[in-house]
Amino acid sequence: MLQEQQEEKWINDIRKYCKSLNISINDLCKIVTDLKVAPMIRGKAFEFSTYSRLKQVLPEEKWIVTKPMMNAQTGTHDIDIKLEHKDTGKTISIECKLAKKGDFKVLKQNKSGLGQKGDYLIPVKCMRSRTTKSNDKALAAAQKLNVTLDAFITHSDQYRTSSFHVVATSIGNAFYKTGEDEEGNISYIFKPTYEEMEFIKRLNPPNFTEEFIQEFVYNKVSFASSSDIVVSHKTGIICGRKKCLDKSNCGFIPNYPVINFGNVQNLELTEVPYPKNKWVEIEKCEAFFDELLLQV
């Protein structure tokens, strides 16, 4: 009965919202599944699901987990999720980014700053959605980030470590493709290839139905400190920008930092693949955040 009441309230809320913005209820499904709209909705949904899971995982006697509702403008940066440590009052900002769509890969050869031949990689789409166009605003943003104007223009859609403390991602998006649904509409479809499915099986899901697998990989959430995914001598990550003047130490975060699971073929059959390049899965995040407190 309670669930029915909640569903009825949700339906009424959506109906009122659509009416307030002159959105036809009959067109709502087509609108939210449009290829331009769906990525924004899925990205925002990931923020809320990660927020909910962190509230469950982190002990409430130690951490306050909030989802600030901000109206970010060019030159400022909103916070997706904020953690506050009760004893110290220190805060940790989390940026939520999905994995790059359909880009699970196995390295064909050694690649400096990325991995070794045979490593299983999942890139994470991590770029600024608001870029600065005018010269005056670009100069102000460059000064705020403590970089030259030329460096900022070269990396205008990239983050710095000062933008946030942590990136959170779900690997699920790596197994989505663009394709047609049953009615011939172009949409995002969960469709792992044979090689991708073999990798997912190694992650040891307890059920192999498509619906369960889709939910399973979506819930494979990992975190990385911004200082561990930035281009620097310490990380060994190389900048891919052609006009970058310091490709080994520019201090910008690549648009697609990767989660590296290593060469899965070299693992024992009973061994579950785990990120080897400082990404930490959500089940182990409390110790990760405790350690990060020493750096903020």
Calpha distance 235→254 (Å, rounded): 12
Q: Tell me: pLDDT of 1 over 70.
A: no
214-245: pLDDT as tens digits: 999 999 999 999 999 999 999 999 999 999 99
Binning the chain into helix, strand and coil, the percentages to the nearest 5 are: 35, 20, 45
> pLDDT tens for residues 132-142?
667 788 888 88
Is residue 192's pLDDT more than 70?
Answer: yes
Give pLDDT, residue 171.
Answer: 97
| pTM for this entry | 0.91
Per-residue pLDDT reduced to its tens digit, 247-276: 999 999 999 999 999 999 999 999 999 999
In the block, which residue shows the tokens 């930490």?
280
Q: How far apart are CA 243 and CA 253, in angstroms?
A: 15
Residue 136: its pLDDT value, please? Answer: 80
Strands, E assignment, 31-163: 63-66, 81-85, 91-96, 105-106, 120-123
Question: Does the pLDDT of residue 75 top 60, yes or no?
Answer: no
CA dihedral 210, 8, 40, 237 (to 10 degrees): -60
Q: Is 251 helix (H, G, I), strand (E, B) or coil?
A: coil
Over the stretch 107-129, which tens digit does the pLDDT of each residue have?
999 998 899 999 999 999 999 87
